[in-house]
Amino acid sequence: MHRSLIARFRQGHRTHRYPKSPPTLPDLFQGLPVFSKSDCIPDCHLCSDCCPTDAISFSAGSFSLDMGRCLFCGLCQEACPTSALTFSHDYRLSTSSRKGLIISESNANKALLVESANRIFRRSLKLRQVSAAGCNACEADTNVLGTLTFDLGRFGIQFVASPRHADGILVTGPVSQNMKLALQKTLDAVPSPKLVIAVGACAISGGPFKDHEEVNNGISDMFPVDLYVPGCPPNPWTILDGLLRLIGIKTPA
């Protein structure tokens, strides 16, 4: 008994003090894309040519990047000869608007945050997580929020086994044809009012499986989405930031 207590004191505080202090991010973390128009070479388009999901486009010469499609692979950053496009360490990527995921020349270098706090769920949020043909990467980064480091339950947010006990669903994966009906039935079983959260590029736009005949390109065209969390997969801190802002808890920049 005494040895256990001594060992516990030596280990110190395991749970991160977030959101009272900023999260600890890995050195290779790639967050909010930053575009510099002054450094961009006209008609170069090397970044868009190498993008595997067509997340980058140039319309009438104007740059646009869709974080809902972006895999954050960094190929565009490597291809750019002038470093006009880079990935910052800003982990706050979640938004309640699909348009909020679009980075353009007019909003580059700005935090694309949309506060979507819902007073109904501020003190308690129960979610049913649905893996709609995901690869388990987004699922793993969602499940890790229940560990000691993040301790999601201290914010009143919990994952439940039944949709009938949930306030909403958190969806990962591109939604295969075999999962489409099951996903719809899961949402129908959630009592109103209900929330829908899309985590990862697959759930938002289909990700690398976009336009494949066996997938539905995510959930954006199936029902209204209350929170988009981009990434492939999103970092656990990005997911946690989105969930906290969804219920009205401010998070550090």
The per-residue pLDDT for 29 is 94
The per-residue pLDDT for 4 is 73
pLDDT in tens, the chain (253 residues): 778 777 666 666 678 899 999 999 999 999 999 999 899 998 899 999 999 999 999 987 789 999 999 999 999 999 999 999 999 999 999 998 898 999 987 665 444 555 554 566 777 899 999 999 999 999 999 999 999 899 999 999 999 999 999 999 999 999 999 999 999 999 999 999 999 999 999 999 999 999 999 999 999 899 999 999 999 999 999 999 999 998 888 888 7
**Tell me, what DSSP letter sits at residue 75?**
H
The per-residue pLDDT for 109 is 45
Residue 168 CB contacts under 8 Å (≥ 6 apart), including other chains: 125, 127, 128, 190, 194, 195, 196, 197, 226
The per-residue pLDDT for 251 is 86
Alpha carbon 15 to its chain centroid, in Å, reads 22
The C-alpha angle 74, 79, 85, rounded to 5 degrees, equals 65
Closest CA to 103 of 80, 69, 78: 69
d(CA 175, CA 9): 46
Q: How many CB atoms are located within 10 Å of the residue 68 CB?
A: 25
- One-letter amino acid of 93: L
The per-residue pLDDT for 12 is 62
- One-letter amino acid of 53: T
Number of helices (H), then strands (E), belonging to the chain: the values are: 7, 10
**Tell me, what DSSP letter sits at residue 222?**
T
Specify burial of residue 83 (Cβ count, 10 A radius: 0-12, 13-18, 19+). Answer: exposed
Q: Give the torsion through C-alpha atoms of 60, 61, 67, 71, to 10 deg.
A: 120
Flag whether the pTM goes above 0.95: no
Three-class SS state of 229: strand
